[in-house]
Amino acid sequence: MRESMRRIGFTVCPDRVLVVKLESEEEYDAPGSSFDLSFTAALQAIEELCEKLDNVAVAHLHRRGICLFFNDRQGRNANAGEFNAQRLARRILHAIGERTDMRARVGVGAAASDWRNLAESYHQACMALAASTDVICTFKKKPEPSFEDLSAAADRICRSMTERNLGEAKLAMTSLPLLANRRLGEAPKHLSAQIAFFASTLDSMCFAAHKLGVETAAITRLRKDAGDALDGAGAVFDLKQAWLAAAEHVLDEVRRLYHGKHEKIVERACRVIEQKLQRTPCPTPISLTAIASAFGISPGHLSRTFKQVTGTTFERYLMFKRVELAKRLLLEPLNNAAQVAERSGFSDPSYFARVFRKIAGCSPSQYARHPV
């Protein structure tokens, strides 16, 4: 663990999680602005802020949001110039506001007693976002939620599915187990009540998925598999894992309704990128507009489709593929950094070095000497 923390850049283990929620593509309505460019600018602003801070790491986790891991004990006992959770949340929102007009909210989980409990802090941050519309939402253990709050949280999942806002459905879904533990209790004697609640919520999710167009056979299979998993849970923790897995399968079936017809387009785009990058001595210029034109679709449609299917933007995917090519070229002794930059599609060697360090974690020359 100490070695892992050292590689990430922590001198003390993280004990708290923030979750940054940027508005979805459906919510984004800034005139004359690109959603993908604004999202990328917001993410870059967060990453650059975290690079300047000690003991803070950011990760954009697919389908789980933008998560910041940090040590807040240090902030509570440190000088005013250092951060704590609230101050860090405000700095994040300020950094995003300086770069883009995209709206953002921050969920703040409670400080964990140990790094092994960081997942709980993450779920608390998600629950804070789901339970409030504030720009900065802090998890509060009191007052205890009522049964009406528990029912409303379950209804929020189905309503978000019906409105085709799967990001909100995912957020409410991951927050539900912690809310159920607090209201129904997590002792073994409360297991049967939790099973009944999660089984009922899953039935509602299946009904919502069926209304959206998921086939009856798929719904029947999901209900049977999920029912067996929930009934077979021997402890509340096992039940939570079974519920999250079953609910994710329901959302996956809904995603297929939207993404299935787009996957071939993205596969073709990825193949074109690979082919163009492999051409020697220099790769063919690659652009979103050129590929979209070749497919007979608009650049905006290709950009949105690529993000929906892969979870990342076209530009970010292309940058990672270029760095992957650069890594392979750096292993050839006759190539220097300038040649590798050109053959990887970077016109500016200094820009190539900055991008390579950001993605690979070291300079091109360091990687060439010690690729492991």
Distance between CA atoms of residues 255 and 270, nearest Å = 20
Strands 104-108 and 56-61 come out as unpaired
Distance between CA atoms of residues 55 and 11, nearest Å = 6
| Residue 20 pLDDT level (bands cut at 50, 70, 90) | very high
- Say if residue 63's pLDDT is above 60: no
pLDDT tens-digit profile of 134-176? Answer: 899 888 765 444 567 788 888 889 988 888 788 888 888 888 8
Number of H helices, E strands in the chain: 17, 5
Yes or no: is domain 1-141 CATH 3.20.20.70?
no
In eight-state DSSP terms, residue 362 is: S
In the structure encoding, which two tokens stand for residue 249, read together? 């399968």
Predicted local distance difference test score (pLDDT) of residue 180: 86
Peptide bond into 281 cis (omega under 30): yes
- Say if residue 226's pLDDT is above 70: yes
357: exposed, middle or buried (Cβ count in 10 Å: 0-12, 13-18, 19+): middle
Q: What is the pTM of this model?
A: 0.45
Predicted local distance difference test score (pLDDT) of residue 236: 85
pLDDT tens-digit profile of 336-351? Answer: 888 898 888 888 888 9
How many other C-beta atoms are found inside a 10 Å radius of the C-beta of residue 51? 12
Is residue 226 within 8 A of residue 246, CB to CB? The reply is yes
Strands 16-22 and 136-138 come out as unpaired
- Domain ranges in the chain are 1-141, 142-259, 263-369
| Residue 82 pLDDT level (bands cut at 50, 70, 90) | very low
Of 89, 123, 91, the closest CA to residue 109 belongs to 123
At 155, the amino acid letter reads D
Contacts of 223 (CB under 8 A, 6+ apart): 202, 203, 206
Phi/psi of residue 64, nearest 5 degrees: -120, -5
Phi/psi of residue 105, nearest 5 degrees: -135, 155
What's domain 263-369's superfamily in CATH? Homeodomain-like (1.10.10.60)
Is residue 321 within 8 A of residue 274, CB to CB? The reply is yes
- Say if residue 12's pLDDT is above 70: yes
Find the mean pLDDT for residues 78-96.
76
What distances in angstroms separate CA 307 from CA 5, 123, 266, one per listed residue?
31, 25, 9
